[in-house]
Amino acid sequence: MEKKLGFGCMRLPLLDKNNAKSVDVEQVKEMVDLFIERGFTYFDTAYMYHEGTSENFMKEALVDRYPRNAFTLADKMPSMYLKEKEDLERIFEEQRAKCGVEYFDYYLMHCLTKANYEIVQKLDAFAYCVEKKKEGKIKHLGFSFHDNAELLEKIIQEHPEVEFVQLQLNYLDWEDETVQARKCYEVCQKYGKKVIVMEPVKGGTLAAVPKEAEELMKSYNEKDSIASWAIRFAASKEDVIMVLSGMSNLEQVKDNTEYMQNLKPMNQEEQEILEKVVDIIDGKTSIPCTGCDYCIESGCPKKIAIPTYFALYNKLKRLGEESGAKEEYRKLEGVGRPEDCIKCGKCERMCPQHLRIRSYLEMVAKEMNS
């Protein structure tokens, strides 16, 4: 059985923070090398990550440099980009070419929501993937999910052929009624579907918690990083087979692989500390954005750096004026501003968190320009 930590390829290190395609491939190679050296093998990419370049970078940093049996590669069919049946074959073959592989170990229908599931059903996308599985081009078939537990149960009932589900699962969302992490996890358990976890650190939110929350955690265990609490919470769940971490630098790889080498399941006292941490974070975080960039991938006509602005707003709310968030906001160049929003709604249709992005942008502009 593989170790439970997976390398998420959505937040690779950049040479230019305003250009998602400017991946620092030499640092990625170092990160890949350390990850594999420490016995971890699972890599997760997708068609849309890094504005369509993540798969290319994984070929360069991983596939071209290691034998095929040295790693496990997961990729995804972008349900949100599908228009007609021919897109399935075109995209799948493009992905194999970009990654440089004959087969994918894990292949997912990407980002199933009510709207995206309707597209997938209309085009018989699962049936297409089952055929690819018969051909040996897919080893394990599943889907990633961003909706409520009721829809999840419907999909699993209608597609018993799926072997696993990728869920957003972290201690902040566990009891959240919008994300429904616990309810979705329990649906998977009910039908015997294994779970792969995405967003265990909620886009970095759970790596930089408010000071009083950090003090609680450090008073219990001074040595472990704040992010380790989040990843261990997810990895401790019985039916979780893999926890993805979108690592952005070599230090994060070092930290994550260190405590995940020999995973210590969470004990009751740690669980109780996390309940208190949730209360603290909920009181200080205003916009529950994970920084996935799907809103930017939607094709914002004003090229507004939505996740960046939301992160700065949350930083201001968590840490106050001394955080420097307003100064960072004013210095941002080469991207659209929140006040440029024309309220077209493209971003909201793509948001896995179902955020009221247009309203939040108004709020950010008002606060940051005051």
pLDDT value of residue 284: 74
Treating both helix axes as pointing N-terminal to C-terminal, what angle do 181-190 and 149-158 enclose, rounded to 10 degrees? 20
> Residues of the chain whose pLDDT is less than 50?
none
C-alpha to C-alpha distance for 234 and 206, rounded to whole angstroms: 12
At which residue do the structure tokens 């095929």 appear? 68
pLDDT value of residue 334: 72
pLDDT value of residue 1: 55
In whole angstroms, what separates CA 26 from the centre of its chain?
A: 23
In whole angstroms, what separates CA 281 from the centre of its chain?
A: 20
In angstroms, the first-to-last Cα distance of the chain is: 54
C-alpha to C-alpha distance for 37 and 222, rounded to whole angstroms: 27
120 CB contacts (<8 Å, ≥6 apart)?
A: 79, 82, 109, 112, 126
C-alpha to C-alpha distance for 282 and 6, rounded to whole angstroms: 27
51 CB contacts (<8 Å, ≥6 apart)?
A: 20, 21, 297
Beta-bridge partners for 6: 42, 244
Give all domains of the chain, ordered by start, each with its CATH number: 5-284 (3.20.20.100), 294-368 (no CATH)
Is 170:230 a contact under the CB 8 Å cutoff? yes
Nearest alpha-carbon partner for 323 in 306, 332, 311 = 311
C-alpha to C-alpha distance for 363 and 349, rounded to whole angstroms: 19
In whole angstroms, what separates CA 89 from the centre of its chain?
A: 25
Cβ neighbours around 102 below 10 Å, total: 9
What's the one-letter identity of residue 178? Answer: T
What's the one-letter identity of residue 342? Answer: I
Is 277:217 a contact under the CB 8 Å cutoff? yes
Q: How many residues does the chain have?
A: 370
pLDDT tens-digit series, residues 264-306: 999 999 999 999 999 998 887 678 888 888 898 878 998 899 9
C-alpha to C-alpha distance for 46 and 106, rounded to whole angstroms: 11
Strands (E), the chain: 5-8, 42-44, 72-78, 104-112, 138-145, 164-168, 194-198, 240-245
pLDDT value of residue 215: 96
State the Cα angle at 167 between 17 and 53, rounded to 5°.
35
Nearest alpha-carbon partner for 306 in 297, 317, 316, 315 = 297
194: helix, strand or coil:
strand
pLDDT value of residue 75: 98
Across the chain, how many H-helices and E-strands are there?
A: 17, 8
Nearest alpha-carbon partner for 223 in 259, 179, 169, 184 = 259
pTM listed for this prediction: 0.86
pLDDT value of residue 160: 97
What are the backbone dihedrals phi and psi of residue 282, each rounded to the nearest 5 degrees, phi first?
A: -60, -30
